[in-house]
Chain A
Amino acid sequence: MTPARRLLTAYAGLFYFFLYGPIAFLTVLSFNDSNLVGLPLRGFTFKWYTIVTATPELMHAIADSIELGMATAAIATGIALMMAIGFRRDVPLKSLIMKLLLLPIVIPGIVGGVLLTIFFGYFDISNGLWTTVLAAHITWTLPFAFLTLFPRLHNFDRSLEEAAMDLGAPPAMVFRRVLLPLIRPGIISTLLFAFTLSFDEFIRTMFVIGGESTIPVYLWNLISSQMPPFLPAVGVVIMSISVVVSVLGFVISQRFDTMRKRA
């Protein structure tokens, strides 16, 4: 092995260590039979996972986050799809509107949270999971959903749609029978991406949430006041949900690609 290759291998090793080391460490700690979040390791136990599943507030927060993530993903993807279709044509102020659409990405989360608090305050909208938090999550995920969908539609061969229309298909049928099947993998991956963004969102949520808790907010409460020993287990559960959703997206996307190639 040449010195350059050795150096590259060491670099790659360190890269993966710092990337996945904390996740692996958190997983190890979640099975540590100790009342302390940290070392030393004192034995193996499943009890923290038992506590996690037996804590109603925690399970409720997880359920709320999942439901909110699903609603956010569906609404943000729907809006992003309509905008991506619309932006295939030249519309007045297209460039400006696109920049405005992407604004939530460049605004720091804490500033976004303050802005949302003021905005909802002026309109006297009560804090709640399905009012302010849902709106905050949609504004946060919408630009990402748009950025995921727009390139797929932008590169789409429009002659396929034109051919369908030449054969007498009305616009709704063209969308349903031509466009939708071809961009379906993109829609599914956008849905899943939007879900994970919503599921993990914390800063903006903190500003606009009421008496309910999403899982990141619940976790923050635990971390700031108690540091309970089941904390790593909560982290692993949250991580697992995000990983499952990502893997699901990858599998579905692969399956559609295979089906399309076969067709």
Chain B
Amino acid sequence: MPYLSLDRRQLLGAAASLTALGLPTRSDADEPTAIDTLLVNAVVSGPLKAIIQKEANCILQDAPFQTSTDVVARLNAPGGTSRFDLMGSSFEFSQTPILGVKPGTEKVLALDLSLIPNYSQIVDAALPGIGKRDDKVYMIPYCWGFDSVVFNRDHVPEDDPYTQSWGALFEDKYAGHIGWYDVAVLSMCAAGLYLGHPEPYKMDKPELEEVIRFLSLKKKNVRAFYTTFAQCINLLQAGEIYIGYGALPIRAELKQKGFNVGYASPKEGVMSLTNELYIPKDAKNPRVAHAVINAMLGAEYAGQLSKVSGYLSTSKHAPEMLTPEERMTYGYGVLEGTVKHVGEYFPTNINAWIEGWARVKSA
């Protein structure tokens, strides 16, 4: 019977080969790193999450997002600068509490732009949204959103003059089929725009009173108030309302459900906001967080963002990845300068606004 003969060298070689087979094919450095984020959930869901994870070689652990106010509060709470690796909120509201009043009080890291090659791809229109201090960049705009009038095209014709204005939300034509967003600043800004105040967040007391009186008068036309996008979607789908105050994710969700949704471009201007990314100053994985920012400004992400979430990418890659028709449908005119828009800013006399909105609701 033949037998296998092995000398010492062959035996060692075989052992080494077997050991090599058992070793992982990638080094530890190639293993995806888990990072904790607090971002608008819609922008890191489904295929968008997969794109980021692949490009940044990470595992994204995204906490439930509530509002930009909540994000900023969490960052400023004790331990808030080390709890997450990457956070996101709207620029207009967040800039001051995040950067602090003077140099050195920043709650976030100065970004290393060499780790974000796609930084150069930010569109010109979004450049004012970069959070800078002393030539250092702290906050990067990655997407735009805007609010407008959302409507059911089965009941409201696309060419109805009312849909060309914020007036659709207030006037009597669709009385009993209108939904208002139960957020004081946004709903009162919409009314302010309709009443001819081009910068509604700057309204003084008499102008604010005028808006409150107008809204109190028009409240009779309202079928429902809603506090979440999902409620608006359900009210439109159920036929309870035909018209409502709507953000981009509402339209995206309704489109995905096959609903005959229309989205107006009011002549007074849509209300726009920029969403920012920033890395808390004590983040545990800043390098991976930079890679995630880069991925979120990359071509593949930019091409999918509007399709999945409704938001507009601030990357120059987006127009390359979308057809002109898609760009028009998603509302890229806001970024390209063909659709009038007004920034969503925080009014200085916010207490008066909230008190006024309470009066409207109890009218």
Say which one of B7-15, B78-86, B292-300 lies at the interface with A: B78-86
Question: Would you call A227 and B234 a contact (CB within 8 A)?
Answer: yes
Question: Would you call B238 and A38 a contact (CB within 8 A)?
Answer: yes
Question: Would you call A225 and B229 a contact (CB within 8 A)?
Answer: yes
Q: Which B residues are CB-close (under 8 A) to A182?
A: none
The smallest C-beta distance from A223 to any residue of chain B, in angstroms, reads 6
Q: Which of A106-131 contact B (CB under 8 A)?
A: 117-118, 120-127
Q: Which B residues are CB-close (under 8 A) to A35?
A: 237, 257
Question: Would you call B63 and A127 a contact (CB within 8 A)?
Answer: yes
Q: Is A250 an interface residue (CB 8 A)?
A: no
The smallest C-beta distance from A106 to any residue of chain B, in angstroms, reads 23
Q: Is B266 an interface residue (CB 8 A)?
A: no
Question: Would you call A36 and B229 a contact (CB within 8 A)?
Answer: no
Q: Is B218 an interface residue (CB 8 A)?
A: no
Nearest B residue to A132 via CB reads B83
Given A121-B83, A225-B42, A212 contacting B61 (CB threshold 8 A): yes
Q: Is B118 an interface residue (CB 8 A)?
A: no
A227 to B259, CA, bound (A): 14
Q: Which A residues are CB-close (under 8 A) to B200?
A: none
Q: Which A residues are CB-close (under 8 A) to B132?
A: none
Question: Would you call A121 and B229 a contact (CB within 8 A)?
Answer: no
A123 to B34, CA, bound (A): 22
Q: Which B residues are CB-close (under 8 A) to A126?
A: 36, 83
Q: Which of B207-264 contact A (CB under 8 A)?
A: 228-231, 233-234, 237-238, 249, 253, 257
Q: Is B20 an interface residue (CB 8 A)?
A: no
Q: Is B18 an interface residue (CB 8 A)?
A: no
Nearest A residue to B81 via CB reads A121
Q: Which A residues are CB-close (under 8 A) to B82?
A: 124
Given A224-B230, A226-B253, A211 contacting B78 (CB threshold 8 A): no
Given A127-B36, A206-B64, A211-B63, A223 contacting B78 (CB threshold 8 A): no
Of A39, A127, A211, A223, which contacts B228 at CB under 8 A?
A: A223
Q: Which B residues are CB-close (under 8 A) to A122?
A: 78-79
The smallest C-beta distance from A247 to any residue of chain B, in angstroms, reads 31
Nearest B residue to A114 via CB reads B77
Question: Would you call B64 and A227 a contact (CB within 8 A)?
Answer: no
Q: Is A21 an interface residue (CB 8 A)?
A: no
Q: Is A213 an interface residue (CB 8 A)?
A: yes
Contact string, B12-35, partner A, CB cutoff 8 A, digits 1/0? 000000000000000000000010
Question: Would you call B234 and A210 a contact (CB within 8 A)?
Answer: no
A223 to B41, CA, bound (A): 13
Q: Which of A206-226 contact B (CB under 8 A)?
A: 206, 209-213, 217, 220-226
Q: Is B74 an interface residue (CB 8 A)?
A: yes
Of A121, A212, A220, which contacts B79 at CB under 8 A?
A: A121
Question: Would you call B234 and A121 a contact (CB within 8 A)?
Answer: no
Q: Is B62 an interface residue (CB 8 A)?
A: yes
Q: Is A37 an interface residue (CB 8 A)?
A: yes
A227 to B232, CA, bound (A): 10
Of B61, B228, B238, B249, which contacts A210 at CB under 8 A?
A: B61
Q: Which A residues are CB-close (under 8 A) to B77?
A: 117-118, 121
Q: Which B residues are CB-close (under 8 A) to A225?
A: 41-42, 228-230, 249, 253
Q: Which A residues are CB-close (under 8 A) to B83?
A: 121, 126-127
Of B34, B63, B80, which contacts A209 at CB under 8 A?
A: B63
Q: Which B residues are CB-close (under 8 A) to A223?
A: 228, 230
Nearest B residue to A218 via CB reads B64
A212 to B37, CA, bound (A): 11
A213 to B65, CA, bound (A): 12
A121 to B78, CA, bound (A): 5
Contact string, A17-57, partner B, CB cutoff 8 A, digits 1/0? 00000000000000000011111000000000000000000
Q: Which B residues are CB-close (under 8 A) to A211?
A: 34, 36-37, 60-63
Q: Which A residues are CB-close (under 8 A) to B237?
A: 35-36
The smallest C-beta distance from B179 to any residue of chain A, in angstroms, reads 14
A217 to B62, CA, bound (A): 12
Question: Would you call B233 and A227 a contact (CB within 8 A)?
Answer: yes
Nearest A residue to B65 via CB reads A221
A21 to B160, CA, bound (A): 42
Question: Would you call A226 and B233 a contact (CB within 8 A)?
Answer: yes
The smallest C-beta distance from B64 to any residue of chain A, in angstroms, reads 6
Contact string, B57-99, partner A, CB cutoff 8 A, digits 1/0? 0001111101000000010011110110000000000000000
The smallest C-beta distance from A222 to any residue of chain B, in angstroms, reads 8
- Jot down 11 A-B pairs with beta carbons below 8 A, ordered by A: A35-B257, A36-B237, A117-B74, A118-B79, A126-B83, A127-B83, A211-B34, A212-B61, A220-B64, A222-B230, A226-B230
Q: Which 3 A-B pairs have the closest CB atoms?
A: A211-B61, A121-B79, A121-B78
Given A213-B64, A223-B230, A227-B233, 7 more pairs with CB closer than 8 A:
A122-B79, A126-B83, A211-B36, A211-B61, A211-B63, A221-B41, A221-B64
